[in-house]
Amino acid sequence: MSDLNDERSRTGANASRRRFLALGGATAATALAGCSGIFGDGGSGSTGDGGTGAGAISLADFRGSGPMVSQRDAPGGTSIDELPALSGELTLYLGGGEGGLYLDLIELLEQRYPDFTASHRLEASSDLANTIIEENEAGASPADVFMSIDAGSLGAVANAGATAALPEEALSTVPEDFQDSEGRWVGIAGRARAIPYNTNQLSASDIPSTVQDFPSASALGNSMGWAPSYGAFQSFVTAMRLIRDDDETVAWLQAMQDHGISTYDDEFRVSNAVADGELAAGFANHYYALRVQSARENAPIDLAFTEGDAGALVNVSGVEIISGTDNADLAANFVRHVLSAEAQEFFATRTFAYPMIPGVAPVGDLPRIDELNPPDIDLSELADVAGTVDLLREAGVL
């Protein structure tokens, strides 16, 4: 574990970019295993010093546990101790299958503030976006806050005019790249596109540094997988359309198919298939590989990142306040809470996402967000999923 500090101090982005997961496995495993139990109180973690009384929720409860996490510096940024108390009942729409991970955070906040309850509705993010838009057209949505794993869904709701203003204190803490240009939604956790690969079958050098070179990489022939109906993959293709153009994107999709690629229905399965050796490599969000490792120690999986292209896209989970809410103050305060030091530490250590405030580092050996080389894209533009679906269909992928 002592190598972890070296890893972090290393400045050569390339080295850490290529093989940072080798050490991450055990760490990641403990980070999740800390809060186990089939019918257990998944919310409060299992750290001994957490306490159970109201207000006794400490930083340790927000953190995953394990040797590496305990070596982390205290997170910077605004602590929830400095924020006004949450009080009242909030209706929260929570978009995305793995949005279930965020329920831990909601439970922690409910434990800390006995007067606060969040009644949540968890569905696929695009379904909830559709629902909110319908609700808004028909009058007012029952939702106060929409929290989604996908900026495209947030953008669609915003474009339909269904959002209310976010508090300035929240917007000012997050880099401009990770919020809406008009301040209608703000990122709360980052999700980097990545190439999970099987370390028994490939080495880091087999993976080109741009996705454009993948169809000509012999090591990747007939051995890759993707999930084209998955929202995160469609965002990646949308990004490629924005950076290059539709014709080149179609050509790339066709070249990948000619090179031989298998289709899965989500990227967690792609990452699992990589760890199983069913695939040599795949297209997926970065944290799925970490979660595979947390489930299975010693799984032969590592991550590579491409540079400056659509394959290096960093998308975000984010929040927005829904127009017509009669809970505007509570909603605004809630948004500030999910951007607090403790909540950001939660996203970093419990969901393996990139924190959105500068004071909190990503988990252990992940490259810092500024070491990644994402393309220059306005994330709101990722809302044009329809054009991407057409294009995927034209290319025979969907």
Contact residues for another protein (CB under 8 A)? 29, 32-43, 91, 93, 96-101, 103-104, 107, 119-124, 126-127, 129-131, 133-135, 138-139, 142, 156, 229, 231, 234, 262-265, 268, 273, 276-278, 291, 294-297, 350, 385-386, 388-389, 393, 396, 398
Give, in order, the Cα–Cα distances in Å from 74 to each of 34, 46, 344, 361, 364: 19, 19, 11, 10, 14
3-state secondary structure of 167: coil
User: Which of 59, 156 has the CB closer to another protein?
Assistant: 156
- Minimum CB separation of residue 145 from another protein in Å reads 12
User: Which of 96, 375 has the CB closer to another protein?
Assistant: 96
User: Which of 368, 393 has the CB closer to another protein?
Assistant: 393
Backbone φ and ψ for 88, nearest 5 degrees, come out as: 115, -175
- Minimum CB separation of residue 343 from another protein in Å reads 15
User: Which of 20, 264 has the CB closer to another protein?
Assistant: 264
3-state secondary structure of 193: strand
User: Which of 128, 171 has the CB closer to another protein?
Assistant: 128
Token pair, residue 170, equals 């929240």
- Minimum CB separation of residue 151 from another protein in Å reads 14
Q: Give the Cα separation of 358 and 200 in Å (integer).
A: 36
Backbone φ and ψ for 185, nearest 5 degrees, come out as: -140, 160
Q: Give the Cα separation of 377 and 156 in Å (integer).
A: 17
- Minimum CB separation of residue 262 from another protein in Å reads 7
- Minimum CB separation of residue 108 from another protein in Å reads 11
User: Which of 143, 211 has the CB closer to another protein?
Assistant: 143
Amino acid identity, position 88 = G
Backbone φ and ψ for 202, nearest 5 degrees, come out as: -135, 160
- Minimum CB separation of residue 10 from another protein in Å reads 28
Q: What is the DSSP letter of 270?
A: H
Give, in order, the Cα–Cα distances in Å from 323 to each of 127, 128, 181, 290: 18, 15, 18, 36
